[in-house]
Amino acid sequence: MTDAELDHLAELARLQLEDDERDALRADLERVLTHFETMQAVDVEGLEPMLRPVHVDDPLRDDVVRPGLDPEAARALARARDGDFLRVPRTAADDG
Judged by CB under 8 A, the number of residues near another protein is 39
- CB of 37 or CB of 84, closer to another protein: 84
Q: How far is CA 76 from CA 15, 33, 54, 79, in A?
A: 26, 41, 38, 8
Decide if residue 87 touches another protein (CB under 8 A).
Answer: yes
The span of 20-28, 31-39, 52-60 binding another protein (CB under 8 A) equals 52-60
Sole binder of another protein in the list 1, 5, 11, 27 (CB under 8 A): 11
Cβ–Cβ under 8 Å, residues 1 and 30: yes
Decide if residue 44 touches another protein (CB under 8 A).
Answer: no
Cβ–Cβ under 8 Å, residues 16 and 10: yes
Decide if residue 46 touches another protein (CB under 8 A).
Answer: no
Q: How far apart are CA 87 and CA 89, in angstroms?
A: 7
Q: Which residues on neighbouring strands pair with residue 81, listed in sequence order?
A: 86
Contact positions vs another protein (CB under 8 A): 8, 11-12, 14, 51-52, 55-66, 68-69, 71, 74-75, 77, 80, 82-94, 96
